[in-house]
Amino acid sequence: MLIKMQIKRMCLRWQTLLAVLIGLLVVVIQALTINQVNATRGVNNAFLHLTGFDFSGSGTTIYYLILPLMCGLAASSTFQEDKRNHRLSQLLSRRTQRQYLFSTTASSFIVGGLVGILPLLIEAGYFFINFQVTNAPTGRDHQIISPSGWGYNFFIHNTLLFWLCTILIAFVFSGLFSLMGLVSSYFEIHSGVETIIPFVISFITLLAANLTGEIEASLYYVLTPTYSNSYSYTQWILLGYLLVILLAVFGLTWRQSKQDVFN
């Protein structure tokens, strides 16, 4: 099956391994830079120290900022590589162009998603072993999510399920970041540029949000669990980004399916 073959191929690329290593480095930074008083004596709760949850650690700030770059590096270059290595003509001799584009899109989404969440899952394994995996404490000193946040009640009453929800969101958007790079490679751009396109787009949303004062409108902000829950409506911004990216990916993929891929 072509999708399985593409996934295996992408997982073994050095770029994918590098992306995972970068992610692992960031979660290690998180573990080393969180408030050690809380981590060793004050708060015996795994969730309050995770990347994206404990904002006293540098990893929370770094991880979601470079996530688009990690995903672009891992899974955005399949189309460019197939053209450059003359593999595309071999694949299209056995399959239709639509089948090839579908398999490439699906495999890029899956690998990008896995790259985005694998370091977070490994980090969670470490903290789940060393700290209690219980619902987060509700005291003011431990309030990492604003009571006005869309996920506050969810976080307080079933923290594990809330964390799994953030992992699912990270997986989906990591996959979409990879696809943003992939569909950009359908245009005449220099080889390799597609890997940084997702980061550039994400950074533009961050810059625009800072310039306008609407900080919650940036992709970086709405993907970071603690930051995205500072307002009651950021889930709609998240949904908006999801729909816009999906429409762009499907539209550009459909456009490419109507053209000669060798041009």
> Lowest-pLDDT range, 86-90, 121-125, 127-131, 167-171?
86-90
Tokens linked to 91: 């694949």
Dihedral angle over CA of 107, 113, 116, 117, nearest 10? -130
pLDDT for 35 beyond 80: no
Whole-number pLDDT of residue 132 = 86
Q: Residue 263: which pLDDT band, with cuts at 50, 70 and 90?
A: low
Whole-number pLDDT of residue 141 = 61
Average pLDDT, the chain: 87
pLDDT for 221 beyond 80: yes
Higher pLDDT, 158 or 215: 158
Q: What is the mean pLDDT of residues 97-123?
A: 93
Whole-number pLDDT of residue 152 = 82
- Dihedral sign, Cα of residue 48, residue 170, residue 225, residue 25: positive
pLDDT tens track for 160-194: 999 999 999 999 999 999 999 999 988 878 888 99
Q: Residue 216: which pLDDT band, with cuts at 50, 70 and 90?
A: confident
Residue 211, judged by CB atoms within 10 A of its CB (0-12, 13-18, 19+), counts as: exposed
